[in-house]
Amino acid sequence: MTLTTVQARCPSCQSTEVFYSCTPNCCFNHVCSECQSSFELSTSPLPSAGPGLDMDAIGLPPEPDACSPTAPCAKCQGIRVYQLSGGETLFCLDCRTLLKLGYENVAGP
């Protein structure tokens, strides 16, 4: 199990060419380079932690680029949120909560 940076998908055109257009810990406004839609990323806690995560078995993620998609943790508001490889589930390194990615304030092209 490894962690990667958040893989956001444009809610308008499903492109993965999504960039964070602001600074970490600000407004979480993202822009799609394909269709120019803008939107904010958010998270919601998943109801159950599911099968216990063995933190020792999880490789630490690479440092994200400044323009990598970034989402705030719904629980602790931290931004050390990463995606578990091979799925859509996000994971907060700070409070160890499993999270689901959401899109808010979608503004079309």
If binding is defined by CB under 5 A, does position 55 make contact with Zn ion?
no
If binding is defined by CB under 5 A, does position 76 make contact with Zn ion?
yes
Interface residue with Zn ion among 37, 43, 70, 83 (CB under 5 A) is 37
Interface residue with Zn ion among 1, 27, 106, 107 (CB under 5 A) is 27
Interface residue with Zn ion among 73, 79, 90, 101 (CB under 5 A) is 73
If binding is defined by CB under 5 A, does position 46 make contact with Zn ion?
no
Per-residue CA distances from 35 to 23, 39, 62, 95, 107 (Å): 21, 12, 28, 34, 11
Q: How far apart are CA 11 and CA 103, in angstroms?
A: 7
If binding is defined by CB under 5 A, does position 15 make contact with Zn ion?
yes
As a whole number of Å, the CA-based R_g of the chain is: 13
Torsion, CA 9, CA 102, CA 90, CA 23, rounded to 10: 80
Residues near Zn ion (CB under 5 A) are 10, 12-13, 15, 22, 26-27, 32, 34-35, 37, 73, 75-76, 78, 92, 94-95
